[in-house]
Structure 1
Amino acid sequence: MRPHHTLLRAAAFAAIATMTMSAGAAHAADLRVVSSGGFAQAYKDLSAPYEKTSGDHLVSEWGPSMGATKNAIPARLARGEPIDVVIMVGDALDKLMAEGKLEPGSKVVLANSPIACAVRHGAAKPDIHTVDGLRNAFLQARHVAYSDSASGEYIKRELMDKLGIRQQMEGKAAQIPATPVGEIVAHGDADFGCQQRSELQPVKGIDIVGLLPHEVQLKTEFSAAIVRGSRHPDEARALLRYLAAPANAQAIAATGLEPAAAATAAR
């Protein structure tokens, strides 16, 4: 068990107990949840204590918030998969909400995710604390990897231009579909890779060298909502309350995210 789990489980159980009391005698259910990678580790850490106390069984699957892969959340909903809850990039969730795929008013903001960069474990770590340092890290790398989700779209469409290196990176920077960027770096298929910190942090075989400098940083919102037509809307709503509870902010922060509950509590 990782060191932070003991304290986090206590907070998680307290959060569940509070919501279980308010929920009354709701019956147990099998809830199908699809989460994108940015919130996946936080969800994994929180799901086991939730199941134990609530009695509900979470059928968990994974898929990107956007893109053309078959597991992408929009593609799943377009096929009519029987999903109860989605956890994904906020902008992409808002689009699905506008299309009528999600239950109106059910959206909860869970966290914000900054972009970080990594190298293979043991490799020299470039200094990316400044914009010039980040630019040099890109230029000096032989192969650069970035994701096909929100962070990668930003890198491809905006960051390259902000750094003034679009032409120089042609042919040696690639957007990676479906596979976590950290795994590409760990396997040696790229010597520098950037993705949301929460997606890099669980990957073995890499070293995170730092966040993008604040001048060019993009923080991605992760939110959750109930899928329209869910067979278990009450249980789904209870799960969303639990994930967004201030008592679980520490567990979310431990995965490299910036929990929305902590920001709300600080106001």
Structure 2
Amino acid sequence: MSMTVTGISSMATRQILSELASAYQQASGQAVSIESVGGVDAAKRIRAGEPFDLAVLASDALRQLEADGALVAGSIVEIAESPMAMAVRAGAIRPDPLDEAAVRAALANAASIGISTGPSGAHVVKLARDWGLENEIASRIVQAKPGIPVAKLLADGAVEVGFQQLSEMQGAPGIDIVGLLPEALQPKTIFAAAICKAAGHAEAARGFISYLASPATADTKRRHGMTPL
């Protein structure tokens, strides 16, 4: 097949999609090319009608794009849950256990807190609001630029503690992952795939999305810090 299925995704699924696109091409002969950028930028580009065949983003972002008419209605397929983790600079003191009190203390006491522009960042802000810490920590929040992982802020010494999806922190140099947030604090972020309205190869894209949701991809998802659905 000479045709290539094209897609756009947020950075959280970059490694998973790279690996699965390669495996899918080996198994089916269908080439798939995914561009991974900051989720906010991805949504803008899909809304602007760039000719991608599929999109992989947090499910709430896809539902908004569907409502805006930028996706094929009814094409959203959930593919994995992405748990959120907390990390510190390599070698820094870290709380043990990482329970709800420890997360709250980290937000209250850290000199600087790294968050993303994506759903994990919004969740940290929500937690701070729920705990009455929003005003107290507002000046200490450092938001990574779109496409830049929070782990880089930590490794560069720009922040003391950071929060993001585990999939974006695993294997990052210069940090220690403290652990997953306690179950009660997890945002339950679901990543999903959908067909773009501007797709030129919708049926071929649908085949790849079916593969992404299949049991055959479970081990890859787990290895990269996501939970198969």
* TM tier relative to shorter chain: over 0.9
Q: Given the two structures, how large is their TM-score scaled by the length of structure 2?
A: 0.93
1:211 aligns with 2:171: no
Residue 216 of structure 1 and its aligned partner are, at CA, apart by: 2.2
1:115 aligns with 2:89: no
Q: Look up the match of 1:164.
A: 132
Q: Look up the match of 1:141.
A: 110
1:31 aligns with 2:5: yes
Q: Look up the match of 1:3.
A: none
1:87 aligns with 2:56: yes
Taking only the aligned residue pairs, the percentage that are identical comes to: 35
Q: Given the two structures, how large is their TM-score scaled by the length of structure 1?
A: 0.80
Q: Please give the residue correspondences for 1:183-202 in structure 2 after superposition, counting only pairs within 5 Å.
A: 183-202=152-171
Q: Look up the match of 2:196.
A: 227
Q: Structure 2: how far apart are the matches of 1:103 and 1:58?
A: 19
Could you tell me which amino acid in structure 1 is paired with residue 153 of structure 2?
I
**CA deviation vs aligned residue, 1:10-67 (integer Å, no higher than 9, x gap):** xxxxxxxxxxxxxxxxx4421111111222221122121212232222222112333x
Count of aligned residue pairs for this structure pair? 228
2:218–2:228 CA contact under 8 A, matched in 1: yes
Could you tell me which amino acid in structure 2 is paired with residue 50 of structure 1?
Y
Where 2:136 maps in the other structure, the secondary structure is helix
Q: Look up the match of 1:152.
A: 121
1:127–1:137 CA contact under 8 A, matched in 2: no
Change (3 A) 1:84 1:223: same
Q: Look up the match of 1:45.
A: 19
Change (3 A) 1:76 1:128: farther
Residue 215 of structure 1 and its aligned partner are, at CA, apart by: 2.4
Q: Structure 1: how far apart are the matches of 2:155 and 2:131?
A: 25
Where 2:177 maps in the other structure, the secondary structure is strand
Could you tell me which amino acid in structure 2 is paired with residue 51 of structure 1?
Q
For structure 1, the residue ranges without an aligned partner over 5 or more in a row are 1-26, 67-71, 261-267
1:115–1:218 CA contact under 8 A, matched in 2: yes
2:17–2:34 CA contact under 8 A, matched in 1: no
Q: Look up the match of 2:218.
A: 249
**CA deviation vs aligned residue, 1:185-228 (integer Å, no higher than 9, x gap):** 11111110001111111422211101222222211010001111
Q: Structure 1: how far apart are the matches of 2:203 and 2:138?
A: 49
Could you tell me which amino acid in structure 2 is paired with residue 242 of structure 1?
Y
Aligned Cα root-mean-square deviation (Å): 1.6
For structure 2, the residue ranges without an aligned partner over 5 or more in a row are none
Q: Whose Rg is larger?
A: 1
Q: Structure 1: how far apart are the matches of 2:142 and 2:159?
A: 9
Where 1:209 maps in the other structure, the secondary structure is strand
2:193–2:209 CA contact under 8 A, matched in 1: yes
2:107–2:128 CA contact under 8 A, matched in 1: no
**CA deviation vs aligned residue, 1:62-121 (integer Å, no higher than 9, x gap):** 12333xxxxx12211233211011000001101111221111222110011121110112
Could you tell me which amino acid in structure 1 is paired with residue 189 of structure 2?
T
Q: Structure 1: how far apart are the matches of 2:56 and 2:171?
A: 18
Which segment is superposed worse, 228-237 or 80-89? 228-237
2:6–2:52 CA contact under 8 A, matched in 1: yes
Q: Structure 1: how far apart are the matches of 2:226 and 2:151?
A: 16
Q: Structure 2: how far apart are the matches of 1:45 and 1:129?
A: 31
1:56 aligns with 2:30: yes
